[in-house]
Structure 1
Amino acid sequence: MKIHPANVKKIAILRALQLGDLLCSVPAFRALRHAYPAAEITLLGLPWAAAFVDRFSMYIDKFVHFPGYEGLPEQAFDQDKWATFMQLMKEKRFDLVLQMQGKGTIVNEMLQAMSLPLVSGFHCDESTVNSDLFVKYPEGISEIDRHLALMQHLEIPLHGKGLEFPVYAADMAEWENKILPLLPEKYVCVHAGSRGEWRQWPTPYFALVADYCAEHGYEVVITGTKEESPITQQVIYFMKNQPIDMTGKTSLGTIGLLIKNASILISNCTGVSHIASATRTPSVVISMDGEPERWAPLDKAIHRVIDWPR
């Protein structure tokens, strides 16, 4: 390995993004944990990702809220929160920070200004870092392979490409309390929501597919966050059959169980599609963003991705 484990006691990973982004990084997190088994690994992420760290505690030990930075779209920049974060980073004294946020056009300069001991990650022509710990951001490949490429650049042995979604006793208890009239593999999950309208297949189309499943003997379960309620209600409105509406009624754990036990997931290219990949639930994923090669599940035998713009 380029960085010997004896020299690394505390690692920070900058990946302040959404569920699908983090799930696609799990194989890299797994390799990192095997390479540095005694290190304390911290995720610098969005507020929701504290729950992700709890679920993946076998790979990540701690969570710190990354408050955003000027030019990054995920959060509004707040100078006071940034100052607090900078102070915390000084106190944490990380031996290594991994830039897994993206190409580095904004964050590489930000990290360099923080005077950290060791920083590794991605760069591009607009964000070049003069360090052999950085690798050029690979284009045209799977998001899973992209982050494994960083591990390989650091000479960290890989431990498979498979995604994971662990389920715990608390998830099972919460699931059982919902008392849903569902038999395993006798229902389909239809997830019409997504972050950004450009990634959403039209709701009447989802309704047509949902009705097709219902007419072939399957229960139809509509899933989505509370914020996606306007979208899921449109799907239900356009349907001829009555589905089970689970909009806003599932935690991260119960949506995982719901997808795990489904016959199939039908969704936009969004976080739930990666849960289906992790649980090996067959899926049909409609890609609206023109990047199916980046986000498509690797196992094409049980997952069908439709590049809708083409």
Structure 2
Amino acid sequence: MSGAAVRGLVPGVERLAVLRANAIGDLVVSLPALAALRTAYPGAQLTLIGDEWHRDLLAQRPGPWDRVVVGPRYPGLRGEPFDAEPGPDYEAFLVQQIAESYDLVVQLHGGGRTSNQVVQALKPRLSVGARTPEAPELDRWVPYPPDRHETLRCLEIVDLVGASITSIQDLAPRLAVTGQDLDESFSASASEVDVVVHLGANDSRRRWPVSSFAVLIERLTELGREVVLIGGAADRELVAELPAGVLPGCRDLVGRLTLGGTLGLLSRARLFVGNDSGPRHLAAAVGVPTVGIFWGPNRQTFGPLVGPHRAVTAYRTDCPRCGVERMACAHPDSVVAGVTVEEVLTAVADLHTG
């Protein structure tokens, strides 16, 4: 019998760990699975093994986790390339975490080529996760097809240990907003928050051109909508590309908020508009309607499943510069540049916000 055929609640689970040490969107789409695990194992201590930013954002935040542990520098984890060497913190991490004597470790970190190695090294009583054909087998596992939505993939994994959802609304991610989040957001901007716009995305190929955002902002302003710009310090370069006449009509908070403060600001907004990026996922997780600009394959794996959200999608799958299929090249050219301002404005109007 293969590990894929075994499922059901695991008896006697007192210590449970989940490995998910990647980016903001990756965390948010896994939240329904984390909530399902908490419901299935209400008495277990649930540890999220993530990155430093997970600890900073989540350690004092109500949620299905009891604590957050920073994972090691290891190939494929925390942004490390798959051909990297294990970091100097790896052995100390193993010693500390093996001593926790986990009853169950759940791997929600990709296809398992390297993440399953880490899970096995923790020596849990039972391990569970996904695997590609070349990845090590865990005690219970499901295959890792490349084009499945990440929320559904994570739920399929936790279903192996008896954790499931009961309503379609449980597919919506949820993050609590704290008083500290709100205090920081009001310190940055005490005015009402209408439309929040984010220009950035980690992958330049998924960025809508700044010139298109400029026209969108002008049109929103003409419609009487107030625009607030958000983003990290790296997004300052994109703000600098906006025409001089656009910025005076915006509140520019780019680089001025922590992730918690960003959550607080987003929770006060009527609408979010931006690329397929971490801030769009955060907006959805605090219940704000979103208009996201997606590349087709990413909409399939990270697009909204339920709720007041619209995904304006570009289905181009070849590089605009060299024509290589499915972007198997290093060129940074946008594959979503073909999305029109009118398409985005139609999605905004369709949500009837304001």
Shared fold (TM-score, shorter chain, > 0.5): yes
Specify which of 90, 101, 105 is matched with residue 93 of structure 1: 101
Q: How many residues align?
A: 304
Residue 49 (str. 1) matches residue 28 (str. 2): no
Structure-2 separation of matches of 1:82 and 1:264: 42
Structure-2 separation of matches of 1:24 and 1:217: 33
Residue 256 (str. 1) matches residue 266 (str. 2): no
Residue 303 (str. 1) matches residue 305 (str. 2): no
TM-score (norm 1): 0.89
Specify whether residues 286 and 73 from structure 1 end up closer, same or farther in structure 2 by C-alpha distance, changes over 3 A only: same
The amino acid of 1:116's aligned partner reads P
Specify whether residues 268 and 121 from structure 1 end up closer, same or farther in structure 2 by C-alpha distance, changes over 3 A only: same
Deviation of 1:60 after TM superposition, in Å, equals 0.5
Q: Which residue of 1 aligns with 2:135?
A: 127
Q: Which residue of 2 aligns with 1:211?
A: 218
RMSD of aligned alpha carbons: 2.3
Deviation of 1:40 after TM superposition, in Å, equals 0.8
Specify which of 176, 192, 196 is matched with residue 183 of structure 1: 192
Partner deviation per Cα, 1:179-230 (whole Å, 9 max, x = no partner): 43x325xx21110111122222111111111111111111111111112211
What pairs with 1:1-310 in structure 2 (closer than 5 Å)?
2-5=8-11, 7-54=12-59, 56-72=61-77, 74-75=79-80, 77=85, 79-129=87-137, 131=139, 133-159=140-166, 160-180=170-190, 182-184=191-193, 187-235=194-242, 237=244, 239=246, 242-288=249-295, 290-299=297-306, 302-310=308-316
Identity of aligned residues (%): 28
SS at match of 1:210: helix
Give ranges in structure 1 of 5+ residues lacking alignment. Answer: none
Contact 1:14 1:43 in 2 (8 A): yes
Specify whether residues 112 and 253 from structure 1 end up closer, same or farther in structure 2 by C-alpha distance, changes over 3 A only: closer
Structure-2 separation of matches of 1:62 and 1:259: 25
Specify whether residues 115 and 178 from structure 1 end up closer, same or farther in structure 2 by C-alpha distance, changes over 3 A only: closer
Contact 1:223 1:247 in 2 (8 A): yes
Q: Which residue of 1 aligns with 2:349?
A: none
Structure-2 separation of matches of 1:295 and 1:100: 15
Structure-2 separation of matches of 1:289 and 1:236: 29
Contact 2:105 2:126 in 1 (8 A): yes
Contact 1:43 1:53 in 2 (8 A): no
SS at match of 2:89: helix
Runs of 4+ in 1 over 6 A off after TM superposition: none
Structure-1 separation of matches of 2:85 and 2:224: 50
Give ranges in structure 2 of 5+ residues lacking alignment. Answer: 1-6, 317-354
The amino acid of 1:183's aligned partner reads E
